[in-house]
Amino acid sequence: MIEPELTDEKGYLARAFATVGIEPDALVVGIEPTPAEIEADSISCEAGLGGSTPEDEMAVFPDFLKKLRKRMAPYGVTLPLFDHPRLGKV
């Protein structure tokens, strides 16, 4: 499910970047996959053709964030924890 605040993409970006004085002129499109797309990815994944399932992605995402935070820390970049609708606090 797309978070309600992201359905107004242009407004969301304007608010998010306003805190640092940036006025973006871009749109972000966040579209949840359809059941058919999820099934197609599952079939591709099982066949070894590079697809991934939502379960696969949810399994690797927290570890990716952990590694990213560690790699960016020496540069003074801090990625705060946030609440993910399916994964909880990541």
Which pLDDT band holds residue 41 (cuts at 50, 70, 90)? confident
> What is the C-alpha to C-alpha distance for residues 84 and 59, in angstroms, rounded to an integer?
13
Spell out the domain ranges in the chain: 4-75
- pLDDT digits 0-9 by tens, 53-77: 778 888 888 999 999 999 999 999 8
Averaged confidence pLDDT in the chain: 82
| pTM greater than 0.85 | no
> What is the C-alpha to C-alpha distance for residues 77 and 37, in angstroms, rounded to an integer?
35
DSSP string, 49-64: SS---HHHHHHHHHHH
